[in-house]
């Protein structure tokens, strides 16, 4: 038995939900299974919630909201400080947990998955300390008040990162929450609930119910006492949640799919731009909704770009997630592995040029959901691999003749989540960025900014997370005339 499961089994939390400040037994008998993607073996079973569990959790959140929503920001900020400290204290345990249940290389879990997740807690706390909850406009007070009970549905690809990106700002705003993490990566959420308990949050402010979409997600979306639902997931899942939420007219925030472009302008240093572009596209094995998996490049430089891309990609070390030399571990689950293999086959059948990679596992790996980092070139925008989200280590290189054509290609998708632009002439770089229809654009690979609002145009969703806008998402605006 691995360390995270030993820990959760020893304290009795593996078979419990965290509701109303207590570790409660589930009301039903349905069970889910956690599969180690590196071995394809079952490592543990855990309970799946149902409508009754949802009802109990929402009731606990509703009761807690009355007092929590009226607490002082300084009090909530202090609790977020404590939460950050507890997550930092358990960072190694959480990293091992993420490596186990979703295949992240242990080095990547330690340096990205866990610390970036903790950064969302600090960011929400920092925003809270200066947030303008009351604004004067003449004799009117424009106030921003907590939305209410918020249901939060998070995915399997950045499990803790997406939990903290939703829970921390919701709690900072004064909302109470019910969290449904992905049933494919549920264990890190249990560790997060332990940190919430250790930090001393009042009972019912945070509640956790593990389960699947039909058993828990749909119930949260349709529940009349849930005031808002926030989901990160596929566009298909986002549509289903919005439809279930519509009869109760609750707020729905959706962070959904993407097919992000990376526009390489003709004046750029090719080696640096392409090398960093490969790293960005294949971070977390491409299992990121904003990964720039369409590299849009000058046709005149296509051969050189292909050579650089192959060299850099072939240096990637795919293997045992717990090995310190591994740079990229296993694909998180069987369904996603199969999807990647199917789409690599589609790319070949569509006539795209296979630069490196291809179907099957990397050499020497006989089991586990390991995929070859794959580069296609001479990709056309009408190809499925250029339009559909693959969610794996597959990069499409699309050539262009003019900068105007590059912008057209960048926007030729139903998605609009992230984008990248690389170039030396910043006048041109900024102009291209202004013409791309996406919620977040990165210029020349800047450092990650947890205060930069994140969200999508078009079918990538609505609403924003992170920073000031992330906290604002959980607030209602009230006007009080004659206040001043």
Q: Which residues are catalytic?
A: 255, 289
For residues 126 and 124, give the distance between their C-alpha atoms in angstroms, rounded to a whole number.
5
For Cα atoms 465, 234, 147, give the angle at the middle one, nearest 5 degrees: 35
Whole-number Å distance between alpha carbons of 60 and 48: 19
Q: Are 268 and 300 in contact (CB under 8 A)?
A: no
Give the span between the Cα atoms of 165 and 146, in whole angstroms. Answer: 17
**Residue 174 β-bridge partners:** none
Comparing CA positions, the residue from 316, 324, 337, 285 lying closest to residue 40 is: 337
β-strand partners of 435: none
Structure tokens at 447: 């450092």
- Spatial strand order of the sheet with 206-208 comes to 22-24, 17-19, 206-208, 176-180, 149-153, 228-232, 251-255, 461-462
Cβ contacts of 404 within 8 Å, gap of 6 or more: none
Could you give the angle at the alpha carbon of 105 between the alpha carbons of 101 and 111, nearest 5°? 110
Using CA atoms, how far apart are residues 23 and 9, in angstroms rounded to an integer? 13
């Amino acid at each position: 038995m691995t360390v995270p499961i030993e820990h959760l089994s020893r304290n009795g939390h593996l078979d419990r939900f965290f509701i109303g400040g207590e570790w409660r037994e589930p009301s039903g008998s349905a069970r889910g299974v956690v599969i180690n993607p590196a071995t394809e073996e079952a490592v543990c079973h855990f309970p799946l919630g149902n409508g009754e569990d949802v009802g109990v959790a929402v009731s606990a959140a509703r009761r807690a909201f009355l007092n929590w929503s009226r607490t002082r920001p300084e009090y909530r900020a202090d609790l977020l400080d404590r939460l950050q400290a507890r997550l930092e204290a358990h960072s190694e345990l959480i990293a091992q947990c993420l490596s186990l249940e979703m295949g992240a290389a242990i080095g990547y879990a330690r340096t990205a998955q866990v610390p970036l997740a903790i950064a969302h807690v600090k960011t929400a706390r920092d925003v809270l300390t200066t947030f303008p909850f009351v604004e004067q406009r003449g004799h009117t007070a424009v106030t921003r008040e907590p939305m209410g009970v918020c249901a939060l549905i998070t995915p399997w690809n950045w499990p803790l990162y997406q939990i903290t990106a939703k829970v921390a700002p919701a709690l900072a705003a004064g909302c109470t929450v019910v969290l449904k993490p992905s049933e494919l990566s549920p264990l890190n959420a249990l560790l997060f609930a332990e940190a919430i308990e250790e930090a001393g949050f009042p009972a019912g402010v945070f509640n956790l119910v593990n389960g699947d979409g039909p058993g828990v997600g749909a119930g949260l979306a349709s529940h009349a006492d849930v005031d808002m639902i926030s989901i990160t997931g596929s566009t298909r899942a986002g549509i289903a949640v919005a439809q279930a939420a519509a009869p109760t007219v609750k707020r729905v925030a959706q962070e959904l799919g993407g097919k992000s472009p990376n526009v390489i302008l003709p004046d750029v240093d090719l080696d640096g731009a392409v090398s960093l572009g490969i790293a960005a596209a294949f971070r977390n094995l491409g299992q990121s909704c904003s990964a720039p998996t369409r590299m849009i490049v000058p046709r005149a430089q296509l051969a050189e770009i292909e050579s650089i891309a192959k060299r850099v990609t072939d240096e990637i070390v795919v293997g045992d997630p717990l090995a310190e030399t591994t740079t990229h571990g296993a694909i998180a689950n069987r369904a996603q592995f199969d999807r990647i293999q199917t789409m690599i086959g589609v790319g070949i059948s569509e006539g795209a040029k296979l630069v490196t990679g291809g179907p099957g596992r990397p050499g020497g790996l006989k089991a586990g959901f390991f995929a070859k980092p794959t580069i296609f070139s001479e990709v056309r925008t009408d190809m499925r691999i250029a339009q559909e989200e693959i969610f794996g280590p597959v990069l499409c290189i699309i050539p262009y003749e003019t900068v105007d054509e590059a912008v057209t290609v960048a926007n030729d998708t139903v998605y609009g989540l992230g984008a990248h632009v690389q170039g030396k002439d910043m006048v041109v770089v900024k102009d291209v960025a202004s013409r791309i229809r996406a919620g977040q654009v990165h210029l020349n690979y800047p450092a990650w900014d947890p205060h930069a609002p994140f969200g999508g145009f078009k079918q990538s969703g609505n609403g924003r997370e992170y920073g000031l806008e992330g906290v604002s998402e959980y607030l209602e605006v009230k006007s009080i005339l004659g206040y001043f």
